[in-house]
Amino acid sequence: MKKNKAERYSMSFAKAKRIGILFDATNPDNAAIVNSYKESLKGKGKQVEVLAYINDKEDHDQSAYFKYFNKKQLTWSLEPKGGNVEQFINAPFDILLGLHIESVQPLEYIAALSKAHLRVGQYREGKEYCYDLIIDTPKDDSLKNFVGQVDYYIKNLNKEN
C-alpha cells in the first residue's frame, strides 16, 4: 500500500463525474439498495461503476447492474484478484463509495489501493487507511440508512454556494 501513489483530494459532488461503488452483495437486499442509489446518481449525470463481493464460491452471472467477485478470486491472504478487481482498483474515480456496513476485508483492500481521488466509507477502528472521509454510524445501522448518510455528506462536501 505504501507504493500506492494516488492523488487524493476532496471534491464537490457537483464537479464529480465518475463514481465507484463497492458493496457486499452476499445479502440480495443490499443489491437492490445499491442499485437504487446507483440509478439516483446516474439521474444526476454521474458515471457510476459498481463492484460487488459475494461471500461464496458459486458461479454467478455478471448482472446488468454490477460486476462482482467472490471467494474464488481471493488469495490465501484474502487479497482479491482478477480482471474486475484490477480494473476497479485502477479506475480514476472522482469519488469511491464503500457501501458496506460490516467489515469485509476484500472490499477494504480494494478501497485502500483504489486510485480514486476521494474514498468514502464507514468508520472501523484500525481501518482508517481505507477511506479519506469516514462516517461513524451506529453499529446496528442499516445499509439503507448508511447510504443516506453517505449521500448527505458527499453532496455537502466542498459545496459551492
pTM exceeding 0.75 = yes
The reply to whether 8 falls in a domain is no
Give the CATH number of the domain where residue 55 resides. Answer: 3.40.50
The reply to whether 13 falls in a domain is no
Q: What is the domain range of residue 97?
A: 18-155
**81 phi, psi to nearest 5 deg:** -130, 165
**13 phi, psi to nearest 5 deg:** -60, -40
pLDDT in tens, 32-59: 999 999 999 999 999 999 999 999 988 8
The reply to whether 146 falls in a domain is yes
The reply to whether 3 falls in a domain is no
The reply to whether 161 falls in a domain is no
Residues 52 and 21: their CA atoms lie apart, in Å, by 8
The reply to whether 23 falls in a domain is yes
pLDDT in tens, 83-106: 899 999 999 999 999 999 988 999
Pick from 65, 67, 61: which is nearest to 80 by CA? Answer: 67
- Cell numbers for 34, please give them: 445499491
* Residue 89 near residue 112 (C-beta atoms within 8 A): no
At 161 the pLDDT is 45
Cell 455528506, located at residue = 153
Question: Taking residues 122-148, what's their average pLDDT?
Answer: 89
What is the domain count for the chain? 1
